[in-house]
Structure 1
């Protein structure tokens, strides 16, 4: 086999030399810069196989460049525009050879390129993933030129703050809550990537090389030739690209166009600001919140608190038997439902929205038809759709030929967040492999921040850092006084085990805010599959986040259960609880893992 490979390699080299000298045919591929200069590559060939022989070197140009630079020191030297042009010309020459048949010349020509950028970020300029990536790249290459351009879906949005669970509690729509930036120290493995690269976003100062395109958006991404086409006709070339186009807005179907101003599909911080203003100023008599997940519960609780002074009724409708039913044990779902009622929220479990029409009564803007055990109609002033899960915004990636995960709707990447050579994907858009939990797509502030940093580090250094961070999903209960931190897969289809402290356990606690119910003060719910911990939900114990993360990473499992108690889990983490209650529950429902992961 080795002898055959050697002879084949030698033969190909001889064919290449013969092809160049005989000049059987000629083909010129060119690319023009903004100054009008062009680089031309003349390629001669007599056989189809010559393209195969030469294409390897051309395709590996950038990687060899990075390797040579890394050998000479850190950080690696960035390629020049002339080097990029020579590389692309070589690639086009090889493309033409590879598509030759019976002497016919295949037509291929590069468009006029406006400018070359070593780094391209296709994302909203203000998105968390974008800001994190800029911070890392400019730390490695302070003078690097970076082009940031949005896709069509995010282009008309003047505020890139995605509304994750808990994020709307900020004081202003444009600020970033520093407490949410880094719940745990960031690390992947022992390398140059450490906390110093991840400065707080509010303290970042960008270099003069960061260019944000505000008058056009990306309409086409050519990953083979490293070109991005903009809506105004300009074409930019790039060295490496980060694609982070986020999620698409979820919409209630079948709403007449004239009623759309009275329906808010909650996706951005500005969306909640609008709704909160309506309630706080008493512009409407009542409002319906659709969605029984974390976001829906938060929104309902917050609006009930904001609307008290103006006596605005908040109605909370969802198809499940109780609030958070897909994610938590039945007893905790019942507790959250009753706690929302105690705050003045009108809970409507088992109710699905059938349609939205014009109101039958004056003084209202909408008429909602609901299907529960029997049909019901609600006249209301506004509707808020607050789904916990959103579909990935992958339109540009599909057009570029990137592989899409059909299970969770993200762009498929490897552990280095690489979709194709020099094309990285991060944030809500990425479907990435997790060594313990399987392939998944996450919608999380924490995930966007850290995945953007890892992708940018690999882009800037030519590194091969794996994204091993286990991100959290945070949920601020607001008026419910519950700070929830979720790690891994939480799914009420899993076996669940709770360790918690109630007001009855704590002699110093006051009267419960929920009549007839013990008030949960703090605790943890473990989620297990095949007796192994795959997820956890912390209640008012965010300081134990790192401990839980390590526990999941180490694959903690139990061997036996004594009634309601599982000894291996009771002492797994020191939670500091007073007279804790232990409770085991069987599986039911469906939760975050159904939407975010596919298990290998």
Structure 2
């Protein structure tokens, strides 16, 4: 069976929703098709590790934007694209269907990184709505959930679970939570905050294997210790899903290479979101896996596909809320870089951290600011990051207070 669309989008995530809306800003009539491998429609993915667990007024039905109703896009879910035929301008799916396109957007996101522990009903490489549903069923009532990974997803999941009645263990390679990104005082505050809320922290360890037996999951650590849990949720980052582009002969390098207009080497094929490696106007070529980028890049690429002459010039930020600690950031965060700290209250409570690499500002971290303050400071931070300096810690302190 063949279907033809003016605009075809592979991947039914937040980028697809934003792109369809961007298309409709300029083209009210063109047909839009969205092919999604997951069986759920586009979803506000950050809610799966944040608000659905921590905000009692935020309901499950609020995570699904009405992509089809608002834009007229046709969603075809549970469909895996197997091949892109650039010459014929069509894609083929594993069920034997073909889809023709005028403009094609690849927004395939990424696949969670795996351990030597097979996925199952109790072992979740956490990313999808289905993962959320399963974890909700397994969590609570003091059942034991082990979370693997001390990064973005791992910390949010551990915080969410312990606040919803689960006995929670967080296994992480760092000895102090956040020490690879944050100044020592902030890392120590974060670490102690998790402990104060009842999360058991096993630092300096990695999972090397495991198995399921008798309704439990046993994970083995690199020091020989084994931990038994009712479920294991794993958040170790993702690998970009670039194989379709690679098979189609498009340039890839830990992501699909696009230009400032988010186009690949083929002028009718674009890429956006987690899978796109693009030339950021301030920070240089990079690939960003956060919600601000998905929304802004998705809307921009939709308009470009529909005829806009714009370029993607937005430098995205990312954020997290962990118990009473909230932060927002732009650019590169690494405790291996030179850092300048500016605290308005006690250290690690409210303030700014600047990250420098060879006298160039490469990252800014905001801690504890409210929504009104952060919006202004993020815009100011972008201006500082665009300034090539040279900077040193003394000249940076106070810059965001100007």
TM-score normalised per structure 1:
0.61
Q: Secondary structure at the match of 2:400?
A: coil
Aligned residues: CA RMSD: 2.5
1:494-505 correspondence runs (5 A): 494-502=337-345, 505=346
Rounded Cα–Cα distance in structure 2 between residues aligned with 1:224 and 1:413: 19
Confirm or deny that 1:274 pairs with 2:134.
Answer: yes
Structure 1 position 547 matched with structure 2 position 393: no
Q: SS of 1:497's equivalent? A: strand
Does 2:82 match 1:239? no
Show CA shifts across 1:197-247 (max 9, x none): xxxx66995354x32224744321112331122334333322111110111
CA contact (8 A) 2:25 2:303 kept: no
Cα 1:432–1:232 change in 2 (3 A) is same
The correspondence for 2:250, drawn from 369, 377, 402, is 402
Aligned match of 2:352? 524
Three-state SS of the structure 2 residue aligned to 1:131 is helix
- Give the SS at the match of 1:261: coil
Larger CA deviation: 345-354 vs 271-280: 271-280
Contact 1:488 1:535 in 2 (8 A): yes
Matches within 5 A, 1:445-594: 445-461=291-307, 463-477=308-322, 480-502=323-345, 505=346, 520-541=348-369, 542-543=374-375, 544-559=377-392, 566=394, 568-574=395-401
Return closer, same or farther for 1:426/1:206 CA change in 2, 3 Å cut-off: same
How far residue 172 of structure 1 moved from its aligned partner, in angstroms, is 3.5
Within a 5 Å distance, the mapping from 1:322-341 to structure 2 comes to 322-341=176-195
Distance in 2 (alpha carbons) for counterparts of 1:176 and 1:379: 32
SS of the residue aligned with 2:344? strand
Provide structure 1 residue ranges, at least 5 long, that are not aligned to the other structure.
1-112, 178-200, 506-517, 576-600
Change (3 A) 1:262 1:496: same
In the alignment, which of 119, 122, 128 is matched to residue 262 of structure 1? Answer: 122
SS at match of 1:469: coil
Written as runs of structure 1 = structure 2, the 5 A alignment for 1:34-113 is: none
Change (3 A) 1:383 1:233: closer
State the shift of 1:306 in Å. Answer: 1.4
1:384 is aligned, of 224, 229, 233, to 233
Structure number with bigger Rg:
1
Change (3 A) 1:144 1:555: same
2:258 is aligned to 413
Tell me the matched-pair count.
391
Question: Is residue 124–residue 131 contact of structure 2 (8 Å, CA) maintained in 1?
Answer: yes
Task: Note the 1:114-513 alignment, pairs <5 A.
Answer: 114-124=2-12, 127-150=13-36, 155-161=37-43, 163-164=45-46, 168-170=50-52, 171-176=58-63, 206-208=70-72, 210-214=73-77, 216-255=79-118, 260-282=120-142, 284=143, 286-307=144-165, 312-358=166-212, 365-372=216-223, 375-387=224-236, 389-405=237-253, 409-419=254-264, 420-461=266-307, 463-477=308-322, 480-502=323-345, 505=346
Q: Distance in 1 between matches of 2:359 and 2:48?
A: 31
Task: Name the structure 1 match of 2:55.
Answer: none
Q: Which has the higher contact order (CA 8 A, sep 6+)?
A: 2
Q: Which whole-Å CA distance do the structure 1 matches of 2:298 and 2:271 have between them?
A: 8
**SS of the residue 1:321 aligns to:** coil
Q: How far apart are 1:395 and its partner, in Å?
A: 2.1
Q: Is the 8 A contact 1:426 1:452 kept in 2?
A: yes
**Which runs of structure 1 show a deviation greater than 6 angstroms over 4 or more consecutive aligned residues?**
none
Shift of 1:128: 1.2
CA separation of 1:156 and 1:437: change in aligned 2, threshold 3 A: closer
Q: Secondary structure at the match of 1:433?
A: strand
Q: Following the alignment from structure 2 to structure 1, what is the Cα–Cα distance between the partners of residues 87 and 180?
A: 43
Task: Give the distance between the partners of 2:137 and 2:97, measured in 1 at CA.
Answer: 41
CA 574–204 in structure 1, closer or farther in 2 if over 3 Å, else same: farther
Q: Is the 8 A contact 2:211 2:219 kept in 1?
A: yes
